Structure 1
Amino acid sequence: MRRRTLQTLLATSGAAAMLALTPFTAQAAPHSGGNYGAYGFEGQYPTVGGCAGSFRQVGPTKTADGMSLKYFYSDRCGSFARIENSRANCAAVLERSNSGAARADGWVSETVDAGINYAYTKIGNNLSGRVSRALLACDGHALASTNWY
């Protein structure tokens, strides 16, 4: 997979572009934008009561530079993104389209915490006709993405 430039990100992905403009810190930090938080379960981690244990991986694991990107879905709660074997300055990103048109209307991201090599996002509600996808972004570049589900 080729690396995208910031200009390409600005043209194709609001979440990844906003992430490129968000400073990274040593501690994990959730960020969100667009209309993220407009639907049930958004703003909560997948371990929240009623959702914990209901997620399954959908689609293949994507890889870039030895790092992994996974997309998880629950027909009860929605979806979240997870990255593994990640280096510093990387984030798991979940984009959500409220129209089902595979165009991000809302997004949430989570950076890798100091001392660990993984991160996962809060839930994105892609139920009732909405869709979402996961991205692995490092240093402002989307290195890998899943399909829209």
Structure 2
Amino acid sequence: MSRRSLSTLLAAGGAAAVMALLPTTAQAQPFSGGNYGLYGQEGQYPTTSFCSGTFRQIGATKYFEGMALKYFYSDKCGSFARIENSRPGCAAVLQRSDSGAGRNDGWVSETVDSGINYAYTQMGNNLNGRVSRALLSCDGHDLVNTGWY
């Protein structure tokens, strides 16, 4: 069998031919609980065109055994959590509080995908007096977190 370029495959067999060549590893999935999804932007990733480019890191990067936890905020869209240099079995978690009290009313998490070492959550809406924080969780244990912002 001869090798073909991506453009040749697309022309000859369309996307189905390309999909047949891609690995079939499992993809990371978002999980959520509490009343997550109640507010605007929740359930969307920070890469949506409405929010893209509006985030800045708040607070210092937190570390645990070389893994990094970062918290990002946009006054237009809310916040999200990102972990880097992570091992398998870990997840980025964003907890959101309906009030400024710092009580976890809703949360969203994203596991580390096979073959990569980072993950980031969907957005949490911590606008209009609500607050949120980021956590690094591995094998069901919260290892490090940021403050409530």
TM-score class, shorter-chain normalisation, is 0.7 to 0.9
The count of corresponding residues between Structure 1 and Structure 2 is 125
Q: Distance in 2 between matches of 1:70 and 1:145?
A: 9
Residue in 2 that maps onto 1:32: 32
Matched AA of 1:85:
N
Deviations 1:36-93, CA, capped at 9 Å, x for gaps? 0000000000011210000000000000011000000000000000000000000000
Q: What stretches of structure 1 move > 2 A for 4+ residues in a row?
A: none
Map of 1:65-80 to 2, 5 A cutoff? 65-80=65-80
- Residues in 1 aligned to 2:121 and 2:142: alpha-carbon distance in whole angstroms: 16
Deviation at 1:99?
1.4
- Give the TM-score normalised by structure 2: 0.82
* CA distance in 2 between partners of 1:26 and 1:83 (Å): 19
Give the whole-Å Cα distance in 1 for the aligned partners of 2:125 and 2:91. 19
Quote the residue 1:83 is aligned against. Answer: 83
Larger RCO, structure (CA 8 Å, separation 6 or more): 1
In structure 1, the partner of 2:140 is 140
Q: For residues 91-135 of structure 1, what are the alpha-carbon distances to aligned partners after superposition, in whole Å with 9 as ceiling and x for unaligned?
A: 000000011210000000000000000000000000000000000
Q: TM-score, normalised by structure 1?
A: 0.82
SS of the equivalent of 1:116 reads coil
The CA distance in 2 between the partners of 1:66 and 1:28, in whole Å, is 21
Q: How does 1:1-149 map to 2 (within 5 A)?
A: 26-149=26-149
Gaps of 5+ in 1: 1-24
Give identity over the alignment, percent: 75
From the superposition, tell whether residues 26 and 138 of structure 1 become closer, same or farther in structure 2 (CA, over 3 Å): farther
- Counterpart in the other structure of 1:5: none
RMSD: 1.1
Unaligned 5+ segments in structure 2 are 1-24
